[in-house]
Amino acid sequence: MPATLLTDASRRLEKAAQYAPISDDATERLKFPKASLKVAIPVRMDDGSLRVFEGYRVRYDDTRGPTKGGIRFHPNVSLDEVQSLAFWMTFKCAAVNLPFGGAKGGITLNPKDLSKLELERLSRGYIDAIAPFIGPDLDIPAPDMYTNSMVMGWMMDQYSIIKGVRSHAVITGKPVSMGGSLGRDTATGIGAFFVINSMMEKLGKRPETLTVAIQGFGNAGSVVAQHLFEAGYKVIAVSDSKGGIYNKNGLSIPDVRQFKQTYQKMKDVYCKDTVCNVTNHNTITNEEILSLDVDILIPAALENQITVANAHNVRANYIFEVANGPVTADADKILEAQGVALFPDILVNAGGVMVSHFEWVQNRSGLYWKLDKVNKKLQSRIIEEATTIWQVARRKDVSFRTAAYIHALSRIGEALNDRGTRDYYTY
């Protein structure tokens, strides 16, 4: 993968810095990750052979607290991608006022090629390699693409073995039985729903009048789809990596979720057994779903899905980024010129890291919360930050993305400035 993702991500920082009252020292510091680690992970495979996998962990900035960010297993994982995601996490945590900096990690592989035993050995081997680089007060990993609570449980257990003490707070997104928080597995999707619904209310839009298309029907995409459906929005198209389905009259999202879980392919949802009789549908590709004539488009898959090559084809009025970095900086300009209102990832998908913070707090205190309390705290905090970003956008007449970065950068810049800048030392 070309080393351009971090450069592209940094362009958002430069634009926001024109509006945020921070020093040149702070802006310069945020152009570079604090620490990057690349490791080799030898794994004994089930057939007795040895494979070595490449892994990464990046701590981008810890000005506001220990770094926080997920671990992904994916064939496209690279140092550039992980640095970019760590950059976004830095601003995401600041945008929603969490006492964390940003980090990210990953291993380059297709996890579907490994058995469960091989995945466990890989997960534990990764922690063996990065254990000095992480910790409850240093860097706290979490699940990301193709990792889950079981993987996080293995990793927390391995770290605890290495340190010789039980350390629940080193990893979030764990199984509830191993110190995980209720609501963590659905937090990204639910948080995104809270943001979408609150922004539509501010715009005077009623759910029953709005159509939605969602690219990416994994954990986050399927959860936000379910909540939008229950709230009265008309979800007319969803897709996953193997294709999608479309019905202009709306899809039955509970049925889609059920059959997706059963058959693992979106294209099978309405062509297996009795569900074929639920509704008519058309198949659709991941590329086609981005150009549907809908009110709300939700990219919830991978980064760089909307670029200069296809941004002109977008016909949605509103985009809510549930994936990390699905729209490039150059595409932002095109969409803005077309009048598309884009709500950025560092706000929209921040529900996951918010509830990860709740989990970390519960681990540190030993007091665990009921699901209703978790969701109420998530709703209150993410809507509060969304409202503030809305106000910044209106007051400074900038896009919602720029407003989110201004909001985050102001918080990070204040913390950096309080450590001393050139103005302090030359006074």
Distance CA 249, CA 286 (A): 19
Nearest one of 126, 163, 125 to 141, comparing CA atoms: 126
Alpha carbon distance 331, 201 (integer Å) = 27
CA distance 278 to 280: 7
Tokens encoding 32: 């570079």
The pair of three-digit structure tokens given for residue 113, joined into one six-digit string: 């090629």
Question: How many Cα atoms occupy the beta-carbon half-sphere of 273 within 13 Å?
Answer: 7
- 205: CB partners within 8 A, 6+ apart: 295
Contact 171, 140 (CB under 8 A): yes
Angstrom CA distances, 83 to 104, 274, 301, stand at 7, 46, 19
- Say which residues have a Cβ less than 8 Å from residue 53's Cβ, sequence separation at least 6: 40, 41, 43, 107, 108, 109, 122, 125
104 is catalytic: yes
3-state secondary structure of 99: coil
Q: Residue 212 and residue 235: Cα distance in Å, rounded?
A: 5
Residue 128 burial (C-beta neighbours within 10 Å; 0-12, 13-18, 19+): middle
- Residue 255 has phi, psi (to 5 degrees) of -70, -40
| Cα(302)–Cα(239) distance, integer angstroms | 12
Q: Which of 123, 142, 120, 105 is nearest to 219 (CA)?
A: 142
Determine which one of 104, 174, 234, 260 is catalytic: 104
By annotation, the residues acting in catalysis are 104
